[in-house]
Structure 1
């Protein structure tokens, strides 16, 4: 009997089968409560399994949902719910009209290096977010990469992901994952690590540009042996991606290219070559960690770089408390906004024009940046300047301070985050990381919190100039309108002028 048209959990009506894998079938369904399309993944239970194996399958399905739900990132599939259907768990996810990277490679054979790099950059950002959340994917491969019709590249199928602190569902000696994409250390029964996912990313990139697997042999056993012991043929069509692919396919995980370097090389490769016409957009709200360098430090006056409370908490009044910290990069354009003073010895990059609907607002300390027309300037205690939108619910804050410390990310994690959690009900970290901004050390902090009448989202970037001055840009807005207002923050940081 076909499942087409069935109502799952009294809410999700199955409309079209859109995919089928080893662990389940994915349906496009209509959420009859909210009137939206969703994807429903139904578990497969082979008839020969015993009760313990069936319980393991059920638990893996629940873990898949939990693993994906722990990660907030534009390139990771969003999980809405886990429901029961005739005694089997089903995962309800966002529905993304798409094809898989595997489908595209089967049809086209291979991709141009720049196009492969753009997809790879999105995958690397998704893996970095997963690893930061304590989740290893363990099954990175072209079939698990969705290429959305809207341009998104999304990592999906966390069905065999493992979270830190959870017991294993595998038996001793059991290999989990697609053999063709397993890292050599996993074939030698080593514990999985983030480096294993990076190996799988390298195999996927090799396959994308070369049109073949780097270790393909006649049988799965021979392929596994080649992965563990034999060298791969050097990529011939990888262009700018060649050094990265070689670095990711190093058999010793200790010497494998790390995540931050992978993202840097992918960003560079994505910026080269002709347009591909795929429209792939790398949407990275946190920005990749380019290098593990110290970011802008706390102030000398002991206040730290941020008094973490909402600037705008559901009313037009500006609260004196503010946020500080984090760092933003733009993967789509090399991760570095133009216009800031470069590091010593570097040439000054071109300053982008002020976008339409914005004006250049000048601050003390030689800083100028684009601000939306019609926003009202307010001077806050401590020298901060805020620009408030007409509703009073959205604001952009700017601060210029003397350089005075070492690593703010460590400081945030040790002290600032606990204060933020205490002062802001419902605080949840989205992303906190050290990175670089136009070649200078920087840090990034993004989080959500509850205002009096609605949920808010905040993002902040801090970086230091080569003379030691620290610059901080912060945006807070209602969470449900975040996509509308996040570009205000991006435009401000991309358009920074120093000594303006």
Structure 2
């Protein structure tokens, strides 16, 4: 068992353990040749493992080193060296003072849409470079994204990644990856692809902003979770705000409909900057599982997962078309005899109204110009200059209670406005919205408001005031001391004269 202080490869001195995983232990070490800190990942051989399994583990670790050494990107943890200790491979990696996204979420629960978009754009850039080098990560999850103190995000652990021209060493029937973040096609047993990495990154960002993965975690039943992932029907994001459309694109069931890493990066950067999304609008915001079945030799470990919807027969289509024609004829006959009345306005679904409100507050206070476009004519008539002037006085906006539809055209939301002097104003808003295709905020009523001000700073200690009488006393005291010193000098002179005589 390797311990603190051990020297690996006559060069790397182990300082302390940083963490451990399924296949290895990560140490903080010092490269005594280059005098720099490094992260050392040592293969963790399972007790009682057969020679075949131990050899597979060694091959997998060596493959990780070969693959990761190809990748050089500021958002991917670099591999400096591969060596061996006690017969097992050891990876020498870049050390990044950081916490994993999993640790951050364990402490905070979730992150803001802006912070998640910034992190996701960096991770997508790393995947873009990895895929260009022929590398598929295969296990993107919160534990494999490191967040530096300066806001840098880096992907780590290519331990089960796969290069297109490398030898596969994963045994038949084993799905590599974490179930909660797998793409549906991988959960059905198909080989991971770059599009699968995009899905896993989308699931990771979903967990970061919503507080849980799209299908929940595997703490209860991982097999049941795999079935849900394979079906691909997840709950649309509720707290993502302007980030929601990007996540919906990345989590499409059909791999061909997902954005590339480059497209995902551009869309996430647009969320950060407040620019329009470069991704096209989707006809539906809730994905439907309708993918092709896995090949027979793909090694799937799921037996009864529905992978496609049954096709309608051509006869059924003819019958449906005839029924539609009959309905149209009946309507054409009956409509002229109906009383004339105003057509009923179409209304948006409650979830769409809530999403509009989330998007609106996610843009504030940094992007009031874009938020202005979400207002209807009634609110815009009050003037854009005053609107933007108000938001320029607000330092931050936080959604305390998520938007909740309270009627066919009404949403309530509780927000907290933070002013530059740290005063906090908590307001319960009732927003009225109109429109089915692109609902706009037509009215805004504050139902309740409370203000909390920061405590005043402690008063400075009283300064000492020099009074004139004190100065006079000090001056007289100095004069008396000078006179005494002179008299003492005269007495010493008289004594000296007496000694001479």
How high is the TM-score relative to the length of structure 1?
0.53
Q: 1:61 is paired with a residue of what secondary structure?
A: helix
The separation in 1 between residues aligned to 2:170 and 2:251, in whole angstroms, is: 26
What is the match of residue 28 of structure 2?
28
What is the match of residue 198 of structure 2?
198
8 Å contact kept, 2:116–2:209: yes
Q: 1:260 is paired with a residue of what secondary structure?
A: helix
What is the match of residue 223 of structure 2?
221
The separation in 1 between residues aligned to 2:211 and 2:3, in whole angstroms, is: 36
- Pick closer, same or farther for the CA change 1:100–1:106 going to 2, 3 Å: same
After TM superposition, the structure 1 = structure 2 runs for residues 73-84 of structure 1, keeping only pairs within 5 Å, are: 73-84=73-84
The separation in 1 between residues aligned to 2:121 and 2:115, in whole angstroms, is: 10
- Supply the RMSD in Å over aligned alpha carbons: 1.8
Residues 344-401 of structure 1: per-residue CA shift (max 9 Å, x gap)? xxxxxxxxxxxxxxxxxxxxxxxxxxxxxxxxxxxxxxxxxxxxxxxxxxxxxxxxxx
What is the match of residue 253 of structure 1?
255
| Cα deviation, residue 250, structure 1 | 1.1
- Pick closer, same or farther for the CA change 1:150–1:266 going to 2, 3 Å: same
8 Å contact kept, 1:5–1:15: yes
Q: 2:228 is paired with a residue of what secondary structure?
A: helix
8 Å contact kept, 2:82–2:90: yes
Q: 2:17 is paired with a residue of what secondary structure?
A: strand
Q: 1:37 is paired with a residue of what secondary structure?
A: strand
Q: 2:22 is paired with a residue of what secondary structure?
A: coil
The separation in 2 between residues aligned to 1:150 and 1:261, in whole angstroms, is: 25
The separation in 1 between residues aligned to 2:228 and 2:48, in whole angstroms, is: 32
Give unmatched runs, 5+ long, in structure 2: 281-501
The separation in 2 between residues aligned to 1:2 and 1:165, in whole angstroms, is: 34
Residues 104-130 of structure 1: per-residue CA shift (max 9 Å, x gap)? 011000010010001000110000100
What is the match of residue 167 of structure 1?
167
Residues 251-282 of structure 1: per-residue CA shift (max 9 Å, x gap)? 11122233232112100112249xxxxxxxxx
Residues 291-319 of structure 1: per-residue CA shift (max 9 Å, x gap)? 9xxxxxxxxxxxxxxxxxxxxxxxxxxxx
Q: Indicate whether 1:129 and 2:124 are aligned.
A: no
What is the match of residue 142 of structure 1?
142
Q: Indicate whether 1:70 and 2:62 are aligned.
A: no
- Pick closer, same or farther for the CA change 1:128–1:242 going to 2, 3 Å: same
The separation in 2 between residues aligned to 1:149 and 1:63, in whole angstroms, is: 30
Q: Indicate whether 1:107 and 2:107 are aligned.
A: yes
The separation in 1 between residues aligned to 2:150 and 2:62, in whole angstroms, is: 29
The separation in 1 between residues aligned to 2:48 and 2:177, in whole angstroms, is: 21
Number of residue pairs the alignment of both structures matches? 276
The separation in 1 between residues aligned to 2:208 and 2:221, in whole angstroms, is: 21
What is the match of residue 151 of structure 2?
151
| Cα deviation, residue 290, structure 1 | 10
The separation in 1 between residues aligned to 2:35 and 2:167, in whole angstroms, is: 38
More helix by share: 2
The separation in 2 between residues aligned to 1:270 and 1:168, in whole angstroms, is: 38
8 Å contact kept, 2:136–2:197: yes
8 Å contact kept, 2:113–2:240: yes
The separation in 1 between residues aligned to 2:270 and 2:61, in whole angstroms, is: 37
| Cα deviation, residue 188, structure 1 | 1.7
8 Å contact kept, 2:267–2:279: no
More strand by share: 1
Q: 2:39 is paired with a residue of what secondary structure?
A: strand
What is the match of residue 117 of structure 1?
117
The separation in 2 between residues aligned to 1:62 and 1:187, in whole angstroms, is: 26
Residues 186-208 of structure 1: per-residue CA shift (max 9 Å, x gap)? 12221221000001001001001
After TM superposition, the structure 1 = structure 2 runs for residues 51-450 of structure 1, keeping only pairs within 5 Å, are: 51-216=51-216, 218-272=220-274
Q: 1:65 is paired with a residue of what secondary structure?
A: helix
How high is the TM-score relative to the length of structure 2?
0.53
The separation in 1 between residues aligned to 2:279 and 2:202, in whole angstroms, is: 18
| Cα deviation, residue 2, structure 1 | 5.8
